[in-house]
Amino acid sequence: MSGLPDYHVHTYRCGHAGGDSRDFVRKAIEHGLSEIGMTDHIPLYFLPVAERDPKLAMKEEEFDGYIAEVLALREEFRGSIAVRLGLEADYREGHEEELARWLERGDWDLVLGSVHWVAGGWIDAPGSAARFEKEGTERLYDEYYRLLAKAARSGFFDVLTHFDLPKKFGHRPAAPREAAEREAIAAAKEGHCAVEISSAGLRKPVAEAYPQARLLSAIVSAGVPVTFSSDAHAPAEVGWGYDKTLALARDCGVEQFVTFESRRKLFHPLPASV
Ligand SMILES: [Zn+2]
Ligand SMILES: [Zn+2]
């Protein structure tokens, strides 16, 4: 019984996750997790309607049904596990007012801030790998961290997701983009954001958790809180890889993790094992 949360979980509504939402919760209980945060993808509010791919995020008309389903799960599993109402919300520069309107529609426990859209396109979609050679790995990393820092300071988000996402397909700058990284970490601190330690990267071509150890150590040193997640898109992925991410956390000096209720942080000591 680890008592860790899984704070990044999708549902079928996003078009690229599968399984009964109840089975995600059951899996969390099976793993002895303390909480599950349902955090499906916000509708692609920042793209023209015709370009909102239903395979990437839930449609606008599904939003209220998503909230209702999570609230029903919270009641159904009350006493067994805490089900939190969350959302994975894209940050897109220049579309802050639309984002604010979407976020007003739910009484969230936590809002994840994700930068998926960088320099005019997706940074992590299957077709994105080709962008790195064409547009320059250094340039894309710098722009990604610039946007992540802006997201962190925006006040919209409780947790920054997959902190070093541009590495997903294995593209790395010749040397770490330290100035850009430092600025994003400082912004997380100033914006009172936590950072997720996500096992999802271990399932991707890069085969490394987000964030990598070097960055996680810097995040911890800066006093930025952390939490745990899997970015599950299937029930079997809930709590997946937590033995590895817990060990990573310990190696990087993490002593506490945070959970959220009505967007308030609660601090807990890191457990000894999963
Ligand atoms: Zn997804
Ligand atoms: Zn996700």
Instruction: Supply φ then ψ for residue 153, to 5 degrees.
Output: -85, -5
pLDDT in the model for residue 274: 84
- Expressed in angstroms and rounded, the spacing between residue 39 Cα and the centre of ligand 1 is 10
Q: Note the pLDDT of residue 162.
A: 98
Instruction: Give residue 56 CA to ligand 1 midpoint distance, Å.
Output: 7
Residue 240 Cα to ligand 2 midpoint, Å, equals 14
Cα 30 to ligand 2 centre (Å): 21
14 alpha carbon – ligand 1 mean position (Å): 7
CA of 103 to the centre of ligand 1 (A): 18
Q: pLDDT of 70-121, one tens digit each? A: 999 999 999 999 999 999 999 999 999 999 999 999 999 999 999 999 999 9
The pLDDT value given to residue 248: 98
Is the sign of the CA dihedral 120, 183, 6, 198 positive or negative? positive
Q: Which of 149, 216, 139 is nearest to 183 (CA)?
A: 149
**Ligand 1 center from residue 134 Cα (angstroms):** 25
Quote the mean pLDDT of the chain.
Answer: 97
Ligand 1 centre to CA of 11 (Å) is: 9
pTM value is: 0.97
Judged by its nearest atom, the ligand closest to the C-alpha of residue 162 is 2
Q: How far is the CA of 112 from the centre of ligand 1 (A)?
A: 12
Three-state secondary structure of 245-256: HHHHHHHCCCCE
User: Mean pLDDT over residues 169-186, rounded?
Assistant: 98
* Interstrand relation of 82-90 and 194-198 (parallel, antiparallel or unpaired): unpaired
pLDDT of residue 25 exceeding 70? yes
88 C-alpha to ligand 2 centroid (Å): 6
